Structure 1
């Protein structure tokens, strides 16, 4: 790939795995009837923003994730208070617009002082209009307009917290779930493109090593070692040879369609591991539908185990700061893999999507896993936790995650400057 293609594919990888995650939250929140105020990719200042229907779609400066802002999760940004003078616009006897500023410029409106209001349950406002008390019904999708911004009201039945436990749990779990689905689909696409390995062949033979002395040749098929079939499992071949330093082994090979047996004694390297001096190449074929499904599931399992092993090493202190990578290092590795071709990039994107799904299910404050844990506690207690306390826990967790991201990003930049 050229430089422009590499940059484009790197950005696309991040965009796809984050967007599919947030779309999962968005889709199941909307399905439950929750008002989704914003669908954002990235954090920080807005780079691009457009509103479609009830939701504002934004692209933000810091490409380190995204979020779906649902009504009731955070305090509403705009409030109307009793005693405040407002202007309202009616349609079919329902208030559709509530103006909080520049009242003299609002034509076709009714202006008055708010006596009382309920924009969540009763959906009505009582106002003093020219000295007379009047009560108006409010449209469930009415807009509050202040400082040039429109904020849609959220009746209580549109709040996240008003939904059943299963609906809220699904809206939270749907993000990681979509990452798992994407990972499976991408692993399947990778298997279809890469094919299924059927045989391990000798690629090159190193001069002066046991393989050359035994007259192994490029193109020989490794059929078995000491009677154990190798098939496509080159790693098993390495394990057997590695454990046989100084011990003769019997290789059954296929050369030009004919079977031959060779006796080879691996030599020990500096670490005491047996070597015979060959590199492999593989004979592949197209995968069947069944093989694509089973091998995709197998890759999902293998990579999941690998990810949890990495988490374990992090918890037990086997990782140093330099071993951790933030968005900068991830982008660097992604660009390097993109240069290897679309097939390798597909596999890497699947791994990143799987990692994002698993990471978000960790019981860390501010992540989906922590919020699901709070729902589990609510189910056991049969009553919700204090939303203010829960919000504080998630806020602290988010701040700590952002701090960690800043530290590893700073370390990544220093590493790039040092040319490591």
Structure 2
């Protein structure tokens, strides 16, 4: 597989995983009537952006996540106060544009001093123009222009904080849920691509081993051993072998759709060996089997991920055990080279990990925001937004420090080979 193709698959996977997570936030925020100012993939400086409707879509330099910026979550950047001189442009006696600087360049706008202003509840500006005071209504989608940049105003009913606890919680939890749904779909896809285990087969036979002396061949299907059906349980076969060291065993195998009996006596080596390498035989999965086995894979992966989180929480790890973006990219390239099914499975695993990680009650993550909403539901009033913002800011800084540390560790590991 070419380096360009591998690089494309890596970029595509990260783009899809982050995009579908942020789309979950975006979709349910829009359904609740929240003004979404920005839908961003990545952090840091903008590489590319365009605006569609009320939302600006951006691609940023650092591929370590993304965000959906909703009105009211952060303090609005532009503030206008009584006594300030501004310019306004009207359409049908309603303000559609508000200019806060570069007023000398305006040719077809009213210039005046703000006497009173409300851009959240009543939507009006009381403007003094040449000692004549007018109370002008403001359009709910009016634009504020500062230094040539437009920012849409956010009336209270379009802000995140105006919505019910349930609507806000849904817009937050939807991101991880979309990752769970994607993971489930990918795990099911892998089942249909690879099939499901149908038998235990002989992959290879060691020369001079009891298996070769008994006449076993690569490709033989093991039907039963000592009258015990094997089915797809290779661990059962291994256990039976270990229990029969230096004792004759009766194997029934299937070769070319014909069943044959083979007498094999395991050697007393390593607790019992017959000299075969085993593998599973697969068959196509039915739709219901695809759902069931996809679900089993997802449950098993979830248990494994949660176990790793528990080890992190109890400090049962070494720094060398942690991996950052560099190691993830390295391992993703290995999975892409291993085949499309392996690549899809790894993408499903990462999507599941991303969803579970974001639900951790750690500041700056979705789980922490849900905790604050839980406090609000219990107390009947929200936590002070400035305090909550500070908690999330500190948490984000800690996550960035951890990211830098594990990335440094990854680079050292690569340099050491």
Residue range with higher mean Cα deviation, 214-223 or 136-145: 214-223
Per the alignment, do residues 125 and 259 of structure 1 end up closer, same or farther by CA in structure 2, a change over 3 Å counting? same
1:294 partner SS: helix
Residue 16 of structure 2 aligns to a residue in which SS?
A: helix
Quote how far apart the aligned CAs of 1:206 are: 1.8
SS of corresponding position for 1:349: helix
State whether structure 2 residue 367 is matched by structure 1 residue 369: yes
What SS does structure 1 have at the residue aligned with 2:349? helix
Matches within 5 A, 1:125-164: 125-164=125-164
1:340-381: CA deviation from partner (whole Å, max 9, x where unpaired):
121111111111101111111111111111111111121122
1:142-188 residue CA offsets vs partner (Å, 9 max, x unmatched): 11111121111100011111101111111001000100110111111
Q: Residue deviations 1:214-237, cap 9 Å, x none?
A: 442212112234544332233444
**Alignment check: 8 A CA contact 1:241 1:266 kept:** no
Output the CA distance in 2 between the equivalents of 1:300 and 1:176: 14
Superposed, 1:241-390 pairs within 5 Å as 241=241, 250-256=250-256, 257-265=258-266, 267-269=268-270, 274-390=272-388
Shift of 1:130: 0.7
Q: Verify: 1:76 aligned to 2:76, yes or no.
A: yes
What residue number does 2:91 align with? 91
Q: Structure 2-normalised TM-score?
A: 0.95
Task: Please give the per-residue CA displacement for 1:226-276, whole angstroms capped at 9, x wherever unaligned.
Answer: 54433223344445556776776654322341142534325443xxx5443
SS at match of 1:218: coil
Deviates more, 1:293-302 or 1:218-227: 218-227
Q: Secondary structure at the match of 1:6?
A: helix
Deviation of the 1:317 alpha carbon: 3.1
- Deviation larger for 260-269 or 288-297: 260-269
Mark the CA change 1:364 to 1:245 in structure 2 (over 3 Å): closer, same or farther: farther
Partner of 1:189: 189
Mapped pair 1:222 → 2:222:
yes
Provide the secondary structure at the position in 2 that maps to 1:107.
coil
Instruction: Indicate if the aligned counterparts of 1:82 and 1:116 stay in contact, CA closer than 8 A.
Output: yes
CA separation of 1:380 and 1:251: change in aligned 2, threshold 3 A: farther
Is this contact kept in 1: 2:214–2:262, CA < 8 A? no
Give structure 1 stretches of 5+ with no counterpart. none
Structure 1 residue 213 displacement after superposition: 4.2
What's 2:51 paired with? Answer: 51
Q: More displaced, 106-115 or 171-180?
A: 106-115
Structure 1 Cα separation of the partners of residues 22 and 242 of structure 2? 46
Are the equivalent residues in 2 in contact too, given 1:197–1:285 (CA < 8 A)? yes
- The answer to whether the 8 Å contact 1:253/1:260 transfers is yes
Mean Cα deviation higher: 5-14 or 190-199: 190-199
Q: Aligned equivalents of 1:316 and 1:265: distance in 2? A: 44
> Normalising by structure 1, what TM-score?
0.94
Alpha carbons of structure 1 residues 247 and 22: separation in structure 2 relative to 1, 3 Å: farther
Unaligned regions of 5+ residues in structure 2, if any? none
Q: Residues 7-53 of structure 1, C-alpha deviation per residue, up to 9 Å, x if partnerless? A: 10011010000000000000000000000010000011111111111
- Asked if 2 retains the 8 angstrom alpha-carbon contact of 1:183 and 1:349, the reply is yes
Tell me if the contact between 1:34 and 1:159 (Cα under 8 Å) persists in the aligned partners.
yes
Equivalent positions of 1:392-407 (< 5 A) are 392-407=390-405
Partner residue, 1:3: 3
Contact 1:81 1:114 in 2 (8 A): yes
Distance 1:242 1:310, change over 3 A: farther
Aligned positions, number = 416
**Cα separation, 2, equivalents of 1:250 and 1:312:** 46
Deviations along 1:322-354, whole A, 9 cap, x unmatched? 111111111110111111121111111111101
Aligned residue for 1:282, secondary structure, equals strand
Q: Secondary structure at the match of 1:313?
A: helix
- Counterpart contact for 1:24–1:171, Cα < 8 Å: yes
Whether the 8 Å CA contact 2:87–2:110 is kept in 1: the answer is yes
RMSD: 1.9
